């Protein structure tokens, strides 16, 4: 990109930051809250107060009243209550609370004056189990979204991000011209009064600043006030007046700008059509036991799954995959309504159980019999509960793969294998992304991995992920498409509305890969298996070294437990021949544990 266009893009990005502070037309704080600790003790809090205790989980409840003047307007609730949580509203809306999922629909068209009960279970923890020090009721706003402004901001942001990924492509000056044309249409009608602008910058979404809430995550939510949070100011002055909505003239200007952008992109697309293809599947990688207790894993899964169910209602083409039969069993026990909602989405083909295993198990120290049991119990569960058997092994985050796996996977009815972990190698790059993996006995499974330079398997529907993944795909001459999983894992709540709004804009974008939503099994089924390269033997990960070699005692105990379980089965079978009951449930529970 030449110097002139580099400066143009920088100026445009600055204007987009300014545009984002107009994302809401009206805002009203939810001031009064009731805090209930784990032991049942109750404290009254106000917006901005710290929690009286950091024991968890806690319950935060409030009643929000939609202003009478908002009759006929769409209304949302934006929250940040001090950590990850699960939110339920009295209108039936429910879902996870985390830095990437903070907005909840109150009404498509408010009656005005209606009350909404808010009930949230919250823990003072952030992404990846990080502790939130001094958690508080930081943000609670009823808002009327400035819908067209939000849409224009997404339109222009996607164009700007594509330009950043294609700096030397001949399409880029045309895209920069498109942004300039839109901003030029806005200029005559956009507010310029200093008092209005300062109030909007200082007061708009003022409660988006909060405990345990980093700027990087704030940007992903789309809710942050970037002109305040991005500079780390020592202090912020009071707003000179309440924020004001845009004038109808300005809103008309926004709509005209959107129309101009659509027309220009259509023209550019004829000259520079999409190149390549990315098949997208929603995903939430949840480590069942990592930096938090199992009770929190169950809460994380519940929050994430309800969030994805809600997105399926809003976005009819959205498809989501989730591994680990254990997680589904927990939801069956903890939230039968959620489990039934998942079952319905599985039946219609939009929620895909993947992996066929009880969990995404280790494949280095796990013995052969234990690995087989993972898939016996996983496939059996998915068959019994959903009527499906998985054809794709799902191991995005395991630290290397034994050469014995292909044989065992095929024995479980699985002839496809997915990972991205080997792309993390520090020294030797695996020469293939799409290949046949041959095990020690000659058995082969079709294998695919992608190389997302932005966020790996926690992918985003954004130009950096899409263009980067396609650019890195090494088998373009053998297949026209790479898979990309999208969604924030381990408490990030999976795919987000922001991602799916981006998808609508990027799926046929000029000079970038064409996007489509897919089921993982259908993606693999469409790959021709002729003339693919072959990798023989172990898939060794040149990363995370020492993770297992430092755990000699753990490995020893694991192997002893595996042997004792096999012996217990043998002796139980012998005992059954002499009239004793076979302890089927106890043995199965031990294997699953």
Q: Please give the span between the terminal C-alpha atoms of the chain, in angstroms, as a whole number.
A: 55
The count of other CB atoms within 10 Å of the CB of residue 187 is: 10
CA of 222: how far to CAs of 21, 103, 111, 200, 497, in Å? 10, 10, 27, 16, 10
Q: How far is CA 193 from the centre of its chain?
A: 39
Respond yes or no: is residue 180 known to be catalytic. Answer: no
DSSP annotation string for 97-146? EBTTB-EEEEESS--SS-EEEEEEEE-SB-GGG-B-SS-B--EEEEEEE-
Contact, 474 vs 517, CB < 8 A? Answer: no
367 three-state secondary structure: coil
Q: How far is CA 127 from the centre of its chain?
A: 12
Q: Which residues contact 339 (CB under 8 A, 6 or more apart)?
A: 328, 331, 332
What is the spatial distance between Cα 81 and Cα 132, in angstroms, rounded to a whole number?
Answer: 11
Contact, 126 vs 99, CB < 8 A? Answer: yes
The count of other CB atoms within 10 Å of the CB of residue 505 is: 21
Beta-strand pair 392-394/416-418 = parallel
What is the spatial distance between Cα 504 and Cα 507, in angstroms, rounded to a whole number?
Answer: 6
Contact, 509 vs 265, CB < 8 A? Answer: yes
Burial class from Cβ neighbours inside 10 Å (0-12, 13-18, 19+) for residue 46 reads: exposed
Q: Which residues contact 422 (CB under 8 A, 6 or more apart)?
A: 400, 401, 430, 449, 539, 540, 541
Q: Which of 5, 397, 521, 585 is catalytic?
A: 397
Catalytic residues: 397
């Amino acid at each position: 990109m030449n110097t002139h266009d580099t400066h143009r893009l920088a100026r445009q990005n600055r204007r987009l930051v300014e545009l984002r502070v107009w994302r809401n037309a009206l805002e009203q704080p939810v001031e009064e809250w009731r805090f209930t600790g784990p032991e049942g003790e109750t404290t009254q809090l106000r917006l901005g107060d710290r929690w009286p205790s950091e024991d968890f989980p806690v319950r935060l409840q409030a009643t929000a009243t939609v202003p009478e003047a908002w009759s006929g307007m769409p209304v949302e609730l934006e929250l940040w209550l001090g950590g990850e949580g699960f939110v339920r509203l009295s209108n039936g809306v429910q879902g996870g609370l985390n830095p990437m999922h903070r907005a909840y629909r109150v009404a498509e068209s408010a009656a005005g004056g209606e009350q909404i009960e808010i009930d949230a279970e919250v823990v003072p923890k952030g992404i990846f189990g990080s502790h939130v020090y001094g958690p508080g009721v930081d943000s609670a706003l009823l808002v009327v979204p400035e819908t067209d402004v939000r849409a224009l901001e997404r339109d222009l942001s996607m164009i700007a991000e594509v330009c950043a990924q294609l700096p030397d492509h001949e399409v880029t000056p045309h895209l920069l011209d498109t942004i300039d044309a839109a901003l030029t249409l806005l200029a005559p009608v956009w507010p310029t009064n200093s008092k209005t602008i300062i109030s909007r910058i200082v007061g708009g979404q003022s409660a988006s600043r909060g405990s345990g809430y980093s700027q990087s995550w704030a940007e992903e939510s789309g809710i942050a006030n970037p002109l305040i949070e991005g500079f780390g100011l020592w202090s912020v002055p009071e707003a000179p007046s309440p924020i004001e909505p845009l004038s109808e003239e300005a809103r008309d200007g926004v709509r005209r700008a959107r129309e101009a952008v659509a027309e220009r992109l259509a023209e550019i697309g004829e000259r520079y059509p999409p190149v390549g293809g990315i098949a997208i599947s929603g995903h939430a990688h949840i480590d069942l036991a990592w930096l938090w207790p199992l009770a929190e894993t169950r809460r994380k899964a519940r929050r994430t799954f309800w969030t994805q169910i809600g997105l399926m209602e809003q976005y009819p083409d959205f498809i989501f995959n989730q591994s680990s039969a254990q997680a589904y069993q927990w939801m069956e026990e903890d939230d039968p309504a959620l489990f039934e909602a998942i079952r319905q989405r599985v039946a219609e083909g939009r929620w895909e159980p993947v992996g066929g295993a009880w969990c995404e198990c280790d494949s280095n120290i796990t013995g052969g019999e234990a690995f087989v049991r993972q898939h016996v119990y996983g496939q059996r569960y998915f068959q019994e509960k959903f009527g499906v058997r998985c054809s794709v092994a799902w191991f995005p985050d395991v630290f290397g793969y034994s050469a014995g796996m292909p044989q065992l996977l095929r024995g479980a009815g699985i002839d496809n294998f997915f990972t991205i972990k080997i792309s993390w190698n520090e020294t030797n790059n695996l020469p293939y992304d799409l290949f046949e993996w041959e095990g020690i006995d000659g058995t082969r499974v079709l294998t695919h991995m992608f190389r997302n330079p932005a966020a790996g398997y926690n992918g985003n529907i954004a130009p950096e992920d899409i263009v980067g993944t396609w650019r890195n795909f090494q088998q373009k001459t053998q297949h026209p498409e790479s898979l990309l999983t999208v969604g924030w894992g381990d408490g990030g709540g999976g795919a987000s509305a922001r991602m799916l709004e981006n998808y609508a804009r990027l799926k046929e974008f000029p000079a970038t890969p064409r996007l489509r939503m897919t089921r993982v099994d259908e993606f693999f089924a469409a790959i021709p298996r002729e003339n693919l390269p072959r990798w023989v033997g172990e898939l060794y990960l040149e990363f995370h070294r020492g993770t297992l070699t430092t755990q000699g005692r753990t490995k020893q105990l694991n192997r002893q437990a595996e042997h004792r379980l096999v012996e217990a089965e043998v002796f139980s079978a012998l005992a059954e021949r002499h009239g004793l009951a076979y302890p089927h449930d106890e043995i199965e529970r031990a294997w699953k544990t």
